[in-house]
Amino acid sequence: MRMIVCIKQVPDTADVKIDPRTNTLVREGVRSVVNPFDLYAVEEALRLRERIGGQVTALTMGPPQADQALRDVLAMGVDDAVLLSDRAFAGSDTWATSYTLALAIRKLGGADILLFGKQAADGDTAQVGPGVATQLDLPQITYVRRVVSVDQAANAPGGALVAERLLDNGHETIRTSLPCVLTVVKEINEPRFQSLTGLRRARKAVIRRWGAKELEADPKRIGLDGSPTRVVRIFPPKLRSGGVMLQGSPDAMVAELVGKLKDLVGKAS
Amino acid sequence: MKQLTISEKLCTSCGACVSACPFGALRMESVAVVDCNLCTLCGACVDACPVSAITRPESAAAVPVTDVIWRDVWVFAEVEDGHIHPVVLELLGEGRRLADQLGERLVAVLPGHETQRLVAPLVVGGADHVLVVDRPELACFQDEPYTAVLTELIRRHHPAIVLCGATTVGRSLIPRVAILANAGLTADCTALAIDPKTRRLLQTRPAFGGNIYATIECPVSRPQMATVRPKVMKPLAADPARKGEVRLDQVADALLAARAVRIGYTAEVSNTANIAEADIIVAGGRGLLKAENFRLLEDLARELGAAVGASRAAVDAGWMPYSHQIGQTGKTVCPRLYIACGISGQIQHLAGMSSSDVIVAINKDATAPIFKTATYGIVGDVVALLPKLTEAFRAAKQRA
C-alpha cells in the first residue's frame, strides 16, 4: 500500500500575538510548525502502514525552510519526503497549489491513499485536499473521523476503503474505490511523539527537492500566474467595542444580565 | 522571477510594511528589504506603505479570456435531511442584493431527487429562477455526481458568481467544482460586495484564525466562486407572493457515476441544537471542573433553546464529544448570543467564536482574556452561577 501525506508548514498559532497598538500580527519570534491538522493525517498513514503494510511519503510545497516540517514528520516515522520549492511557486492560491501537488504525486507514481489534514491553520480554506483529488480525478472522503476498513482485494483493481465522515448533523459511512483522497479531523487519532531514533534518522535523511522544471509544470498554471484569485487588501479585524463588567452580588449580576439579554433571548425562542 | 519591488528613492524606512507583513518577510535596513523565500506576494505591505514605495508584480491572465458572457448570481441549494439548509436562504438574501446591483438574475441551483416541494422556499426566499436537476442518483449528497452536475451546469449557463454555504458539504463540493471550472474560489467568506467600477465580486474572509482579514477578487476567471459562513448573511423576509421560474435541466448518465458512495448515515442524537446553526450557544470549558457540571449548562441551554458548545480543554478532558468543540481545531460559530462559561479565551478558542453578535463571559479569573472579547463579563463561580442564571431566565419568561 502506497500512501502520500501532504503537509504544510504554518506559523505556530499558539505563538501568534496581536500587537495591541497596531492591531496587526506580531510575527517576530513565531516558530514554524507542521500544520496541527496534518499531524492527524500523518498519524493515520502510519497506523494504516502498521495495519496493512506499505510505504508513507510526506510531501510539502513551501520555502526552503519547509524542509524542517518534513524532518518533523520523518521523525514520527514517515519513510521518505519530498519538498516542492521554487520561487516560481510563490503567490500560489489553492488552485495553483493543487495543480503543483498533483504534478508531484504523479511524478511519485501516484499512491493508493492520499491523506491531508482537514485544513491548514493559517489559511483555513480546506480546499487543497479536494483540489488535489480533482486534479488527479480521484474520489475523496473529507472530514474523516475513522477509517473503518481497507481491503485491497475488494472489487479489484485498486481495492476499497470504508470510512466515516463527520457531518454538521451527524456522520455518514462512505465506501470508496482505491486510489482515493482522505482529509481527516482531529477526532480520528492521537498523533504520536517523535522518537529518538526517528529524530536521528530525520536529521540524516536526504530530502528530494523539486522545482517547476523537475515537475515539468505549465508556467501558466503555477504561482501567481496560475492563481485565479488575487488578494487585494489585508486588514486587521475590527476591535470589539469595550465590554461591560457587571458588578455586585452574584444575584444582582445574574438579574442585570438577564435584563440585558431579555430581548435577544426572546427573539430566538 | 516575480517579486516585490521596493523603491529605494521613495522608501522612508518608516517600518509600516514590516509590521503589516503577515509572513515576516520584510525587514528594515537602510530601506525595506524583502526575503523572497518568505514573501507570498500577498500585497499587505503594498497597502500599508504610506509613500507607495512597494509594487507587486502583475499576474498574467490565468485563463484565456473568451467571448462568452458570464452573468447571473447562482446559489447552490444545499439540502440537509430533506430540507433546504438555512444557509441557502441567507445566501439568497445576500445574492439578491448582489444580483440587483449587477442588474442580473438570482438563480437557485437545486440538484436532488423529488425536488418539487423544495422549489417554493427558494422562490419565496428571493430566487428569480430555480435550476433543477432531478435524478435518483442525486437523492443524497455525494461528492462526485454533485461535482459533475454543478460543473456541467456552469459550462452550460455561464454564471458570473456561484455562492455556496461553507458547510461540510459546501467545503467538500465547491473546491472540486472550482478546479474543473478553472475558477477562483474563496473559502469561508464573511462579507461580499460588488466593485462598482469593475463589477467584480469582492470576497472578504478571515485568515490566521480570524487575526487578519483579506479581501480577494478574481480578475479574469469566471465564475467567481465563494463559500460563505453560515449565520453571517441575512435572509430576506419570506414573501409568499414572489414569483419565480423553474427550469428542469437533463444531464447525461455518465455524470452521475460515483466511486465514493454513502452506505450509512447516523444523525447525531442530541437533545440540544447543532452548534453551527444555533442562534444561541452556551459553551463550557475547564472552569466547569467536571463532566457532570455540563448538565448545568444543558439546563441553561434547554431554557434558552440554545446549543451546547465546549472548549478544547473540555473536549480533551472527555467531558463533551468532539463534534461540540468550538475553536480553531473545532467548529467556527457566529450565533447572536454566545455565553462562555469557565472558558479562559485562548486565541484558538476566540478564533472560533469572536464574530458572535453578543458575547457573555463568566469566569472566576478576572484577568482571563475572554473578558477582552466579551460584551458582558461576570467574575464569579460559574458552577454556582449557572443554576441561578437558568432560574432567572425561566422566571423572566414566565413574567413575559
pLDDT in single tens digits along all 400 residues of chain B: 577 889 989 999 898 888 878 777 888 988 999 888 778 777 778 878 889 899 887 655 444 456 789 999 999 999 998 999 999 999 999 999 999 999 999 999 999 999 999 999 999 999 999 999 999 999 999 999 999 999 999 999 999 999 999 999 999 999 999 999 999 999 999 999 999 999 999 999 988 767 778 899 999 999 999 999 888 898 999 999 999 999 999 999 999 999 999 999 998 766 456 787 889 999 999 999 999 999 999 999 999 999 999 999 999 899 998 889 998 778 888 899 999 999 999 888 988 898 888 999 999 999 998 998 899 999 999 999 999 999 999 998 888 7
Within an 8 Å CB–CB cutoff, is residue B280 touching chain A? yes
Total number of domains in chain A = 1
Residue A268 is assigned to a structural domain of this protein: no
Res. A170 pLDDT band, cuts 50 70 90: confident
**Residues B278, B247: Cα–Cα separation, whole Å:** 33
Cβ neighbour number for residue B184 with a 10 Å cutoff: 28
pLDDT in tens, B288-320: 999 999 999 999 999 999 999 999 999 989 999
C-alpha distance from A228 to closest chain B C-alpha (Å) = 5
Of B305, B243, B252, the closest CA to residue B278 belongs to B305
- Identify which of B41, B80, B262 has the shortest CB distance to residue A174: B262
User: CB–CB of A3/A73 below 8 Å?
Assistant: no
Backbone angles phi, psi at B315, to 5 degrees: -70, -45
Ranges in chain B annotated CATH 3.30.70.20: 5-57
pLDDT of A158 reads 79
pLDDT of B63 reads 45
Within A152-202, strands assigned E span: 160-167, 170-177, 180-184
**Residues B170, A215: Cα–Cα separation, whole Å:** 31
Residue A264 is assigned to a structural domain of this protein: no
pLDDT of B24 reads 79
Do A91 and B41 make contact, defined as CB atoms within 8 angstroms?
A: yes
Do B305 and A134 make contact, defined as CB atoms within 8 angstroms?
A: no
Do A185 and B322 make contact, defined as CB atoms within 8 angstroms?
A: yes
Within an 8 Å CB–CB cutoff, is residue B19 touching chain A? yes
**Residues B155, B147: Cα–Cα separation, whole Å:** 12
How does the average pLDDT of chain B come out, rounded?
A: 91
Residues of B with CB below 8 A from A134's CB?
147, 175-176, 179-180
Residue A126 is assigned to a structural domain of this protein: yes
CATH class, B73-256 region: alpha beta
Cβ neighbour number for residue B91 with a 10 Å cutoff: 34
Ranges in chain B annotated CATH 3.40.50.620: 73-256
How does the average pLDDT of chain A come out, rounded?
A: 91
C-alpha distance from B389 to closest chain A C-alpha (Å) = 6
Cβ neighbour number for residue B183 with a 10 Å cutoff: 24
Within an 8 Å CB–CB cutoff, is residue A168 touching chain B? yes
Q: What is the three-class DSSP state of B30? A: coil
Residues of A with CB below 8 A from B59's CB?
91, 224-225, 227, 230
- B347 Cβ contact partners less than 8 Å away, ≥ 6 residues apart: A13, A14, A16, B209, B211, B369
Ranges in chain B annotated CATH 3.40.50.1220: 280-399
Do B22 and A234 make contact, defined as CB atoms within 8 angstroms?
A: yes
Res. A198 pLDDT band, cuts 50 70 90: very high
pLDDT of B270 reads 61
- What is the number of residues in chain B? 400
Within an 8 Å CB–CB cutoff, is residue B27 touching chain A? no
Phi-psi region of B103 (alpha: psi -120 to 50; beta: other; left: phi over 0): left
Residues of A with CB below 8 A from B217's CB?
229-230, 232
- Identify which of B143, B179, B306 has the shortest CB distance to residue A131: B179
Do A94 and B209 make contact, defined as CB atoms within 8 angstroms?
A: no
C-alpha distance from B87 to closest chain A C-alpha (Å) = 12
SS3 breakdown of chain A: % helix, strand, coil, rounded to 5?
35, 30, 40
Residue A210 is assigned to a structural domain of this protein: yes
Question: What CATH code is carried by the domain that includes residue A111?
Answer: 3.40.50.620
**Residues B100, B204: Cα–Cα separation, whole Å:** 20
- A108 Cβ contact partners less than 8 Å away, ≥ 6 residues apart: A4, A57, A59, A82
Residues of B with CB below 8 A from A13's CB?
208-209, 328, 347-348, 351
Domain range holding A32? Answer: 2-221
C-alpha distance from B101 to closest chain A C-alpha (Å) = 21
Topology adopted by domain B5-57: Alpha-Beta Plaits (3.30.70)
Residue A132 is assigned to a structural domain of this protein: yes
Residues of B with CB below 8 A from A64's CB?
37
Helices and strands of chain A, counted as H and E runs: 7, 15
pLDDT of B310 reads 95
Do A171 and B2 make contact, defined as CB atoms within 8 angstroms?
A: no
Which B-chain residues 143-162 have CB contacts (< 8 A) with chain A?
143-144, 147
Domain B280-399 has CATH 3.40.50.1220: yes
Burial of A7 (0-12, 13-18, 19+ CB in 10 A): buried
- Identify which of B19, B265, B277 has the shortest CB distance to residue A24: B19
**Residues B262, B126: Cα–Cα separation, whole Å:** 32
Nearest C-alpha in B relative to A123: B207
* CA-to-CA dists, residue A166 to A147, B108, B348, angstroms: 12, 26, 21
Report H helices in A115-163: 128-135
Of A119, A87, A130, A65, the closest CA to residue A223 belongs to A87
pLDDT of A46 reads 98
Q: What is the three-class DSSP state of A176? A: strand
Cβ neighbour number for residue B333 with a 10 Å cutoff: 23
Residue A238 is assigned to a structural domain of this protein: no
